[in-house]
C-alpha cells in the first residue's frame, strides 16, 4: 500500500513539473516575440530618423551648391571638390543604411543576440558617420564665409 502512495506521489510531482515547464516555455516565447517587436519598432524609429537626417544633409548640400554658384571661380573648384566628397560620403551612408535595412528585414524573424549586437554596432557607426558628415558641412560653411 505504501508503494502505491509513493508511486502516485511521484506521478503527481512529475505532472506538476511538466505543467510548470510548459508554462515557462510559453512565457519565454512571448518574451522573445515582445523583444522582436520592440526591436522592430526601435529599428523603424532609427531608420526613419536616419532618413530625415539624410534629407536634411541633401538640402544643406543643395544650399551650398547654390551659394557656390555666386562665389568666385578660383575658390569654386576647391569648394566643389570638398562638397563632392561630402556628398559622396552622404551617398555611401545612404547606401549602407538601405543595404542594412534590407538585410535586417530579411532576417527579422530570426533575430538573436548576435543580430542585436550587429544592429547596435551599425547604428552607432552610422550615427558617428552622420555626425562626421554634419561636422564636415559645418566646417565647409565656416571656411566658405
User: Integer distance in angstroms from the first to the last C-alpha of the chain?
Assistant: 99
- Cα separation, 78 vs 143, whole angstroms: 11
Contacts of 136 (CB under 8 A, 6+ apart): 82, 86, 89
pLDDT per residue as tens digits for the range 61-120: 888 888 877 766 667 788 788 889 889 999 998 999 889 888 877 776 666 667 778 888
The position carrying cell 519598432 is: 41
Asked if pLDDT for residue 145 goes beyond 80, the answer is: no
pLDDT of residue 88: 92
Q: Contact 144/79 with Cβ under 8 angstroms?
A: yes
> Higher model confidence: residue 56 or residue 21?
56
Stated as kind and residue range, the H or E segment containing 71 is none
> Higher model confidence: residue 35 or residue 56?
56
Q: Is the dihedral of CA 37, 107, 131, 94 positive or negative?
A: negative
Q: Contact 144/67 with Cβ under 8 angstroms?
A: yes
Question: 3-class SS at 112?
Answer: coil
- Cα separation, 85 vs 127, whole angstroms: 18
Beta strands of the chain (E only): which ranges?
Answer: none
| Cα 107 → chain centroid | 13
pTM of the model: 0.54
Amino acid at each position: 500500500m505504501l508503494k502505491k502512495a509513493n508511486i502516485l506521489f511521484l506521478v503527481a510531482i512529475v505532472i506538476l513539473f511538466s505543467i510548470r515547464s510548459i508554462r515557462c516555455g510559453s512565457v519565454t516565447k512571448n518574451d522573445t516575440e515582445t523583444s522582436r517587436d520592440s526591436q522592430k519598432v526601435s529599428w523603424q524609429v532609427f531608420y526613419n530618423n536616419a532618413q530625415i537626417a539624410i534629407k536634411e544633409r541633401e538640402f544643406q548640400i543643395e544650399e551650398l551648391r547654390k551659394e557656390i554658384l555666386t562665389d568666385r571661380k578660383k575658390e569654386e573648384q576647391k569648394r566643389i571638390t570638398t562638397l563632392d566628397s561630402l556628398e559622396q560620403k552622404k551617398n555611401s551612408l545612404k547606401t549602407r543604411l538601405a543595404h542594412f535595412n534590407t538585410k535586417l528585414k530579411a532576417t527579422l524573424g530570426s533575430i538573436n543576440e548576435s543580430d542585436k549586437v550587429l544592429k547596435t554596432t551599425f547604428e552607432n557607426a552610422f550615427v558617428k558617420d552622420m555626425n562626421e558628415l554634419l561636422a564636415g558641412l559645418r566646417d565647409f560653411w565656416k571656411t566658405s564665409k
